[in-house]
Amino acid sequence: MEARAVEKSVRGSAAGIEVRSKAPFAIGVVLFRDESSQVHATVVAKATYELAPGRSALVSPPDPIRHPDEYWDDGASGSLRFPSDLAPFKGAHEVLVVGHAYPKGLRPADAATARLVVGDIEKMITATTPRRTDSTGRLEEAAPQPRFSLRYELAAGSADNPVGVDPSAFTPSGGHALPQLVPPNRDLRPGDYVPLVGLGPVGRSWPLRDALLRPADRQWLLDPVRRPRPRGFDARFFCSAPLDQRTKEPFPADARLVLEGLHPKHERLVTNLAGVRPVLRAIHGRRSLPALVADTLFIDTDRGVATLAFRATLKLGDEKLLLEIAAHDEGAGASDGESTTELDRRALGETAAPGLPFAPGGEGTTELDRSALGDLAFAGLPFPPASERGRASMASAVDGALPFRSSKPPSEPPPSLPMPPSLPAPSSLPLPAPLSPPPPAMVPVAARPPLDDPPPRAEERDRFRKAFGGPKPARVAPVDATWRCGCSW
């Protein structure tokens, strides 16, 4: 691969930087001063991938570093096509999509719904054929299309989108033109408010970005190498993606993409980027260098490619800094002294297949190499490792209660467990005498209280017979006032 080099220096000073590369990355450098007037250099390395199902391979040569911003055919008065890659820093990590959306089945249709999923970013957008209403309000639609542009000129116009379609404006025939980029599953009528809808980059003069600048910030942007950066500068100004396409997490070198309706050949594309990342190295001497962080993923649906920009910022001193960029394959293990821990292949057996975490036909347990951890590797464990003496080995006998079987029969039978002491035969044990049922419980019966009046005597009967001419009736005993029926009252 052809070697590339980029050199930047500070006028009137010995400070400078030169970056060389033979890796499959486009490289760029931008200088700026911070609040203390210290000069910094931001190194940018950009990889290009050919989008394909499964794994997207690197493209060589990669797309070049783009600077300054590049607009569509309308120039700076239209929407932005390619934002500059040479941002000194960014306030978030972002995903950008330009090109066209493709309908279901990749056949001409009246509309297409595009879906983008990258990490925790998920977004859908619907694109339609040109639509308008006549003076009576009747909807008129154009013929089906094989693809639909994603330019902001076809979205709803507003303060956030100064180049979009105004649904409230009248056409020469007295009707209204409707936006072609709309939120999914939403029917629009003339005069409806539609938020900013799009997947592409937003220009720096649009309110989403321009409103973040103060007068001092604008002066610094005119000459960031000579002027110190104002305190409180909002780093989000260099982010050009819509707000819902930004994330706090950097993109891994093997980022996973799900694209629906965003590829000319694949209706639904699920892929991982090739896990190759750029690494900074000092050519002369040893120096601690920062890692290049992936912060901008750019997808061009028309070309079927994606680019991933990595960025790192270094402080420049009084001498020229000479660096090179090398490629590091995330799946190839550690290289060049990097502190990447790998599994010990000796623990996997000589027949272990490359890339497999286990040895075919052997045990399915992989242990870390103790040689990398030293004698204290297992000091905190309540049991010794398998290689130490005294560790109880687990028997590999077939156990019918387990949902698996051992891969090979045991070399020796497992040790038998000690039997409990023998018990006497059941016939020699005395049988307990049968128990008789207990007598029923005796409940004492309360004695009836005495009557208020004693029964009548013979003398009283005689007196009654003489006075009234008949026998005296027996008196009825009064009701016992102590009896209760059990009611609450």
Q: What is the pLDDT of residues 368-412, one digit of tens each?
A: 333 333 333 333 333 334 333 333 333 333 433 334 444 444 444
pLDDT at 106: 92
Whether 214 and 199 have beta carbons less than 8 Å apart is answered as no
pLDDT at 252: 96
Find the mean pLDDT for residues 287-305: 96
Whether 240 and 209 have beta carbons less than 8 Å apart is answered as yes
User: Which pLDDT tens digit goes with each residue over 464-482?
Assistant: 566 666 555 555 455 444 4
Find the mean pLDDT for residues 78-107: 96
439 falls in which pLDDT band (50, 70, 90)?
A: low
Find the mean pLDDT for residues 456-460: 60
Residue 114 contacts by C-beta under 8 Å, 6 or more apart in sequence?
97, 101, 102, 124, 125, 126, 127, 150, 199, 260, 261, 262
User: Which pLDDT tens digit goes with each residue over 316-329?
Assistant: 988 899 999 999 98
User: Which pLDDT tens digit goes with each residue over 120-147?
Assistant: 999 999 999 998 888 887 888 899 999 9
pLDDT at 111: 95
Per cent of the chain over pLDDT 90 is: 52
pLDDT at 193: 72
292 falls in which pLDDT band (50, 70, 90)?
A: very high
d(CA 176, CA 189) in angstroms, rounded, equals 9
User: Which pLDDT tens digit goes with each residue over 33-84?
Assistant: 999 999 999 999 999 999 999 999 999 999 999 999 999 986 778 899 999 9
By DSSP bridging, strand 70-71 and strand 80-82 are antiparallel
pTM: 0.68
Which one of 302-311, 340-349, 419-428 scores highest in mean pLDDT?
A: 302-311
pLDDT at 227: 96
Residue 213 contacts by C-beta under 8 Å, 6 or more apart in sequence?
221, 234, 237
pLDDT at 389: 39
pLDDT at 189: 67
pLDDT at 448: 52
Q: Which region among 198-212, 234-248, 430-444 has the lowest average model confidence (pLDDT)?
A: 430-444
The backbone torsions φ and ψ at residue 235, rounded to the nearest 5 degrees and listed phi first, read -70, -15
Which of the two residues, 188 and 107, has the higher pLDDT score?
Answer: 107
User: Which pLDDT tens digit goes with each residue over 140-162?
Assistant: 889 999 999 999 999 988 888 99
Closest CA to 332 of 301, 306, 359, 355: 355
Query: 415 pLDDT exceeds 60?
Result: no
User: Which pLDDT tens digit goes with each residue over 446-456?
Assistant: 545 554 445 55
Query: 289 pLDDT exceeds 90?
Result: yes
194 falls in which pLDDT band (50, 70, 90)?
A: confident
pLDDT at 433: 52
